[in-house]
Amino acid sequence: MTDFGLTNMNNLPTSIALEVSSVDEATRWFQARFPTSSIANHGELAVVQLGDTRIVLLHGPRGRTRQILVEVNPEDCLLESADDVEIEGPAKPRLGSRWATLSMPDRMTRLVLVTPVPPLSAAQLELVRRVLKPLKKKVAAWNTIVQADSKVLRDELDDQIASARETLAKATGRDKEKQGKRLSTLEKKRTKPPFDLKSVWNKELDRLLEEEGPHRIKWILAGINPGGKEARDGRYLHPEGPSGAPMRALLRHDVPSWDFALVLNQTSLSSSNVDELKSLSPTQKTIFEESLLAMAKAISQLAKITRAHVWVLGNKELFDKKSSAKPFHPFFAQLARFYSKNPELRDRLYLSKHPSRGSLFTELPMTDELLAQGLEAALRPRS
């Protein structure tokens, strides 16, 4: 097969391979709507250049309804009006905002034109690293402290378990059943906070610390805390987790890849469920509160550096409360103080329910509406 200059195409962040039922028909469709763009039909494939984005049209089977995001500035690409073209007004200066939507001939594919998310400059990347490097060290230091504290508590619990086993061995009748339940309860506690607690770093952020890029960030996501899979693999919003899986599916409607998201949490302390964090020891509670403030501060600093959208998942009712006995309130109080001092960034802050157990989807429109509106618009409070 002739190369057509497509060597290592998949390694180019500005290249999109698009399967179509007819390459010729798709080529004519692009030529009619983008008359000034470079379009070359090579028979078995065609190459369309929209601004800095290259779309390679390949013959393939029609699939299910899909949305293809194409980063292109409106000034770099003349778009002719047509019945299947929806112009969404002048492109907003905000990162990754959609400015036009086109329905392709197969009626199964929506081509969404969005303003590009510019890569972080060298100066921005340095500032991002100045935030993340000390935060990573803090997360590691917190882990050392809470793990040591957990071990002390676990050793004490193991003494109770040993004693309960001895008591069970001597028990008879109804007392044996009672002592068996007591032993089972003690053994289950061993793998939960405060007896087993970790402070977890998101290893996916190491790319910002170790690689020169280019790095492009549209979203800063803040979950609640790492769950079991996150703690095991060191990945916040784990792709196989009950929260990470739906979030990654949602973001596919808005950005080309997960790397456009910088993911943190409200705390780095892990648990199977949030309620387990209510039983922390005094030492662990101190670390928990420290982590809430540190995470909120880091998110605020990163928002200012990158100008990205910030999406906080869970506990949203705490943001406007001046005081609260709820454990996560310090995080939101810190965040609220930042946005009160930086009101120009407030329209890039989104608060929602947590995505686990499907609760987030009671706030967002169904998929078809989401595809039509875009994620930013969908997250805005409904009137």
In whole angstroms, what is the distance from residue 77 CA to residue 74 CA? Answer: 5
- Beta strand 38-41 with 66-71 is unpaired
Instruction: Quickly state the pLDDT bin for 205 (edges 50, 70, 90).
Output: very high
The better pLDDT of the pair 324, 24 is held by 24
Q: Is the domain covering 122-136+198-379 a CATH 3.40.470 domain?
A: yes
The better pLDDT of the pair 77, 335 is held by 335
Reading phi first (left if > 0) and then psi (alpha if -120 to 50, else beta), residue 5 is in left
Residue 10 has pLDDT above 60, yes or no: no
pTM reported for the whole predicted model: 0.82
Cα 308 to Cα 235, 247, 351, 374, distances in angstroms: 21, 17, 14, 16
Residue 34 has pLDDT above 70, yes or no: yes
Instruction: Quickly state the pLDDT bin for 26 (edges 50, 70, 90).
Output: very high
Mean pLDDT on 20-38: 92
What ranges do the domains of the chain cover?
A: 9-114, 122-136+198-379
In whole angstroms, what is the distance from residue 261 CA to residue 96 CA? Answer: 12
Length of the chain equals 383
∠ CA 285-288-292, nearest 5°, is 145
pLDDT of amino acid 189: 86
Domain 9-114 fold is: 2,3-Dihydroxybiphenyl 1,2-Dioxygenase; domain 1 (3.10.180)
Mean pLDDT on 206-220: 94
pLDDT of amino acid 9: 34
Residue 209 has pLDDT above 50, yes or no: yes
The better pLDDT of the pair 349, 213 is held by 349
pLDDT averaged over every residue in the chain: 86
Write the pLDDT tens digit of every residue in 257-289.
Answer: 899 999 999 999 999 888 999 999 999 999 999
Mean pLDDT on 122-151: 97
Write the pLDDT tens digit of every residue in 346-359.
Answer: 988 999 888 876 66
pLDDT of amino acid 229: 94
In whole angstroms, what is the distance from residue 248 CA to residue 261 CA? Answer: 10
pLDDT of amino acid 200: 98
Beta strands of the chain (E only): which ranges? 15-20, 38-41, 45-50, 53-59, 66-71, 85-87, 98-103, 109-114, 219-223, 261-265, 309-313, 349-352
Write the pLDDT tens digit of every residue in 50-106.
Answer: 888 889 998 887 666 777 888 888 888 889 988 988 887 654 556 677 888 899 888
Residue 164 has pLDDT above 50, yes or no: yes
Residue 8 has pLDDT above 60, yes or no: no
